[in-house]
A and B are shown apart, each in its own frame.
Chain A
Amino acid sequence: MIRFEHLSYRYPGADATILQDLSFEIAEGEFLLVMGPSGAGKSTLLRCLNGLVPHFYGGTVSGEVLVDGRDPVALGPRGMADLVGFVLQDPEAQFVVDRVEDELAFALENQGLPPILMRKRVEEALDQINIAHLRHRSVSTLSGGERQRVAIAAVMTLQPRVLVLDEPTSQLDPQAAEEVLDTLVKLNQDLGLTIILSEHRLERVVQYVDRILYFSGNGQRPILGEPRQVLSQVELTPPLITLAKALDWSPIPLTIKEGRRFARKAARHRPDGNKAPEATPPSQRRNDQPPVSISVKGLGFSYNGHPALQDLSLDVRRGEFVALMGRNGAGKTTLLKQLVGLLRPDQGRVQIVAPTSGAAMDTRKASVEEIIQYVGYVPQNPNALLFNDTVRQELDFTRHGHGLPPGEYEGLLDTLGLTEYASHYPRDLSVGERQRVALASILVAEPQVLLLDEPTRGLDYQQKASLVAFLQRERARGRTIIMATHDVELVANCADRVILLGDGQVVVDGPTRQVMSESLVFASQINKLFRDPALLTVEDALSLYATDAS
């Protein structure tokens, strides 16, 4: 179906080739996962399949790609449109027409198909993706997941035989991502569509894909093969796989179900002398509780009539690392905005306690400028912040906003691994780097409390790992951190308290281990694997089961 022959490609102006002498084949009806750290050339490869590379980006191509006998480099995107469907990352940037149904028809109209045929095609697409209920909606009123599905439907109307998706879920929360991936699996299994997908969250797709193509970047040639064999050679993997490799279980389990078998075996003869970690994190153990740094009492708030928070009360103590979890619209972001004073309570109150004086400041009275002296908030989308010409200027801007003199940022930039980018244009950086710049531009004001909204969205394992490390360091410095996230593994790794929001109210509030082991949805893979409150992370499991634990 698809054949690469010695394909190499170099971006215009770039000195190194990003794709080096690729040769492999992809069979018809195959579900191929393309993985690897960002910037390794995944998207470039995908864009070769429909001629966007080189026709859109220019650059120098050598070698050949053939898709069903057609040459994208010769035909260009237009020539490939009816064969290769292409879906992008950003659910907001893919629509030409405002109404779903017309959006689906757009491509067909451009092909000049007769109306009757168009009607049929559109109906089919609506059913395949089952979004028929959205047909009359305006795209601007859709959720991210719905948008991505509409985008998929919009290319399906051309009835392509290959579907290429470039990180379609990286901007979505787990539920939405689930929807999209299920759709893809269905398309692959029902229609025998060849699907080529690049994706960070392996744990969700890995069981469905036939093969994996791994780009390690830094010039090594990519690895192509069965999921198990590829994953065994890859270092950054989901916890289950990591553990499996550490305890050399084979064949490597791809799902929790498969994993359970090994888990039971491991549990049966576990090396004695290994102790499970205490079920309560250190901060809880100390009997002298640190002072409260944020206290919320009976907080109620509603967006023009729709209640977002109802009678919500909680205290956050200094140095705590709190994770806010809960499904979309549970009120996580709203709560964070309340804490930083961007929104003001309708009922109840939010108090921020100044660390030095210990004076409590009520957000209903205090101005945002006062509040941000103590509280820093990193919004979901770093692009909303960045507008200066260099990273350094971004930091200066924040300091200026706080009435502080521009300072020396070496330490901060270093801990965030941004030193070499200090004078880069922020928007030339990768998603993860942008995220960190945004973080830096908030931290530079040295807030006592740090609020994070979905900090791992769009990050790959590597970037996630470095973020985790950084956050733990910050916390060790005694900074209070409150983080709204869907990322269970992240929570398992660094939070010591989880607050589960549901419908604007606190459903559960307790130590991470306890909450996770009690909940089914918000449990880490390892925890699901062993169903043991003591075990959340790979480290926990290893400390218990590793044969050479010492």
Chain B
Amino acid sequence: MTATRNRLALVLDRFPLQRALNAAILVVASLIGLGSFFYPFLLPQRSDQFNAMAHAQDAPLLFVVLVVLCLAAVLSSLASGLMNAKLIAVLGILTAANAVLRGVPGPAGFTLIFLLPIVCGYAYGPTFGFLLGVFSLAVSAFLGFGVGPWLPYQMFSAGWVGLLSGCLPRLKRHPRAEAVMLAIWGLLLGFTFGVLMNLWFWPYVFSAGQSEMYWEPGLDLVSALQRYGVFYTFTSFWWDLLRAAGNFVLLLLFAAPVLRLLRRFQQRFFFEVRAT
């Protein structure tokens, strides 16, 4: 019997080279996805396309298509490593738990939806975090929250939440510092998520016109950002503030115990077989 080492977060890939490839795929796809998020700022702007309006109207569709493709690409490339029943089971069940947590109404309407992707991403690694984030939203869409045009965007950004959390520095030694770090991280992500998620419908809320709060084809990035800033503060800043604060408090309180739990089980999933 050959000696195999098996760790939850790493079972995704059979060869280091393939792991590198998967990572590369994930990164490139994420870049495209990010670009798609920012389409309002990135509209074609050339003399032979002065009818930017037409493209402005195609853009949302085109980018939804693009995002869906990228998601599929990432998932299927990771899937080649997803053959491990343990990983699938843990993913599936944690996803379910996340969906339930989303249903659990915390005080002041905090949702726990980000707790798991962040902490699991941190404990079990970026890829796991990414998948958990992606699947969590897919599942809650299947279970009554509904499939909406924003779904691919939500899935991607929730995936990034887990992904980035996996890239945080490991502070196993100092649990308290760990908790604080994750809490601040949650705060930041709370806002980032809001900013990203508002982008997709920004171009709809305002029609073409000389709005101070609206993107315009051919607007240079800086002023576009300024306008988006205005729009964002007007629309969802306060909501996101609440959510971010919620993340902060939750992680501050829960990060440590949940991490302890996850690491306990990580040991159970870790094994080695020795030839005899």
Direct contact of A and B (CB under 8 A): yes
Known: A12-B271, A58-B271, A61-B1. A425 touches B276 (CB 8 A): no
Nearest chain A CB to B91's CB is how many angstroms away?
12
In the complex, residue of chain B having the shortest beta-carbon distance to the beta carbon of A388 = B257
Contact B273–A54 (Cβ < 8 Å): yes
Which residues of B lie under 8 Å from residue A249 when comparing CB positions? none
Which residues of A lie under 8 Å from residue B272 when comparing CB positions? 12, 58
Contact A389–B260 (Cβ < 8 Å): yes
Number of A-B residue pairs with CB-CB distance less than 8 Å in the complex they form: 27
CA A54 to CA B2, docked complex, whole Å: 12
CA A60 to CA B274, docked complex, whole Å: 6
Q: Is A143's CB within 8 Å of the partner chain B?
A: no
Q: Is A415's CB within 8 Å of the partner chain B?
A: no
Which residues of B lie under 8 Å from residue A290 when comparing CB positions? none
Contact B276–A61 (Cβ < 8 Å): yes
Q: Is A130's CB within 8 Å of the partner chain B?
A: no
Known: A389-B260, A425-B264. A74 touches B1 (CB 8 A): yes
Q: Which A residues, 383 to 422, have Cβ-Cβ distances below 8 Å to chain B?
A: 389
In the complex, residue of chain B having the shortest beta-carbon distance to the beta carbon of A8 = B276
Q: Which A residues, 54 to 84, have Cβ-Cβ distances below 8 Å to chain B?
A: 54-62, 73-74
Nearest chain B CB to A434's CB is how many angstroms away?
15
CA A425 to CA B265, docked complex, whole Å: 12
Interface residues contributed by chain B, number (CB under 8 Å): 11
Interface of B is mostly: mixed
Which residues of A lie under 8 Å from residue B264 when comparing CB positions? 425, 427
CA A61 to CA B86, docked complex, whole Å: 21
Nearest chain A CB to B271's CB is how many angstroms away?
3
Which residues of B lie under 8 Å from residue A55 when comparing CB positions? 273
Q: Which B residues, 227 to 272, have Cβ-Cβ distances below 8 Å to chain A?
A: 257, 260, 264, 271-272
Which residues of A lie under 8 Å from residue B257 when comparing CB positions? 389
Contact A59–B273 (Cβ < 8 Å): yes
Interface of A is mostly: mixed
Contact A62–B271 (Cβ < 8 Å): no
Contact B271–A57 (Cβ < 8 Å): yes
Q: Which B residues, 66 to 102, have Cβ-Cβ distances below 8 Å to chain A?
A: 86
Which residues of B lie under 8 Å from residue A59 when comparing CB positions? 271, 273
Nearest chain A CB to B192's CB is how many angstroms away?
31
Q: Per-residue CB proximity of B141-176 to A under 8 Å, as 1/0?
A: 000000000000000000000000000000000000
CA A425 to CA B263, docked complex, whole Å: 13
Which residues of B lie under 8 Å from residue A58 when comparing CB positions? 6, 271-273
CA A60 to CA B271, docked complex, whole Å: 10
Which residues of A lie under 8 Å from residue B273 when comparing CB positions? 54-55, 58-61
Which residues of A lie under 8 Å from residue B274 when comparing CB positions? 60
Which residues of A lie under 8 Å from residue B86 when comparing CB positions? 56
Which residues of B lie under 8 Å from residue A73 when comparing CB positions? 1
In the complex, residue of chain A having the shortest beta-carbon distance to the beta carbon of B265 = A427
Which residues of B lie under 8 Å from residue A61 when comparing CB positions? 1, 273, 276
Nearest chain A CB to B82's CB is how many angstroms away?
14
Which residues of B lie under 8 Å from residue A389 when comparing CB positions? 257, 260
CA A28 to CA B117, docked complex, whole Å: 49
Contact B260–A60 (Cβ < 8 Å): no
CA A164 to CA B273, docked complex, whole Å: 23
Which residues of A lie under 8 Å from residue B276 when comparing CB positions? 60-62
Nearest chain A CB to B217's CB is how many angstroms away?
47
In the complex, residue of chain B having the shortest beta-carbon distance to the beta carbon of A57 = B271
In the complex, residue of chain A having the shortest beta-carbon distance to the beta carbon of B3 = A58
CA A536 to CA B273, docked complex, whole Å: 51
Nearest chain A CB to B94's CB is how many angstroms away?
14
Which residues of A lie under 8 Å from residue B6 when comparing CB positions? 58
CA A59 to CA B1, docked complex, whole Å: 12
Q: Which B residues, 100 to 150, have Cβ-Cβ distances below 8 Å to chain A?
A: none
Q: Per-residue CB proximity of A123-138 to B under 8 Å, as 1/0?
A: 0000000000000000
Nearest chain A CB to B97's CB is how many angstroms away?
13
CA A60 to CA B1, docked complex, whole Å: 10
In the complex, residue of chain B having the shortest beta-carbon distance to the beta carbon of A61 = B276
CA A62 to CA B271, docked complex, whole Å: 17
CA A61 to CA B1, docked complex, whole Å: 9
Nearest chain A CB to B259's CB is how many angstroms away?
12
CA A62 to CA B273, docked complex, whole Å: 11
CA A427 to CA B260, docked complex, whole Å: 13
Which residues of A lie under 8 Å from residue B260 when comparing CB positions? 389
Which residues of A lie under 8 Å from residue B271 when comparing CB positions? 12, 56-59
Which residues of A lie under 8 Å from residue B1 when comparing CB positions? 54, 61, 73-74
Which residues of B lie under 8 Å from residue A425 when comparing CB positions? 264
Q: Which B residues, 1 to 16, have Cβ-Cβ distances below 8 Å to chain A?
A: 1, 6
CA A389 to CA B271, docked complex, whole Å: 23
Give the residue among B260, B272, B276 with the most A Cβ atoms within 10 A. Answer: B276
Which residues of B lie under 8 Å from residue A60 when comparing CB positions? 273-274, 276
CA A416 to CA B274, docked complex, whole Å: 39
CA A74 to CA B276, docked complex, whole Å: 13
CA A46 to CA B25, docked complex, whole Å: 42
Q: Which A residues, 3 to 62, have Cβ-Cβ distances below 8 Å to chain B?
A: 12, 54-62
Nearest chain B CB to A65's CB is how many angstroms away?
13
CA A55 to CA B273, docked complex, whole Å: 7
CA A253 to CA B257, docked complex, whole Å: 53
CA A50 to CA B271, docked complex, whole Å: 18
Nearest chain B CB to A12's CB is how many angstroms away?
5
In the complex, residue of chain B having the shortest beta-carbon distance to the beta carbon of A96 = B92
CA A117 to CA B264, docked complex, whole Å: 43
Nearest chain A CB to B56's CB is how many angstroms away?
42
CA A58 to CA B271, docked complex, whole Å: 5
Nearest chain B CB to A394's CB is how many angstroms away?
14
CA A55 to CA B3, docked complex, whole Å: 11
CA A60 to CA B272, docked complex, whole Å: 8
Q: Which A residues, 465 to 479, have Cβ-Cβ distances below 8 Å to chain B?
A: none
Nearest chain B CB to A339's CB is how many angstroms away?
28
CA A61 to CA B271, docked complex, whole Å: 13
Nearest chain A CB to B257's CB is how many angstroms away?
8
CA A73 to CA B276, docked complex, whole Å: 12
CA A12 to CA B273, docked complex, whole Å: 8
CA A56 to CA B271, docked complex, whole Å: 8
CA A427 to CA B265, docked complex, whole Å: 11
Nearest chain B CB to A59's CB is how many angstroms away?
7
Nearest chain A CB to B121's CB is how many angstroms away?
22
Give the residue among A58, A60, A61, A425 with the most B Cβ atoms within 10 A. Answer: A58
The 4 closest A-B pairs by CB, nearest first: A58-B271, A62-B276, A58-B273, A58-B272
Show 11 residue pairs from A and B whose CB-CB distance is below 8 angstroms, ordered by the A residue: A54-B1, A55-B273, A57-B271, A58-B6, A60-B276, A61-B276, A62-B276, A74-B1, A389-B260, A425-B264, A427-B264
A contact residues vs B (CB 8 Å cutoff): 12, 54-62, 73-74, 389, 425, 427
Query: Known contacts A12-B272, A425-B264; can you find 7 more A-B pairs with CB under 8 A?
Result: A12-B271, A55-B273, A58-B272, A60-B273, A60-B274, A61-B1, A389-B260
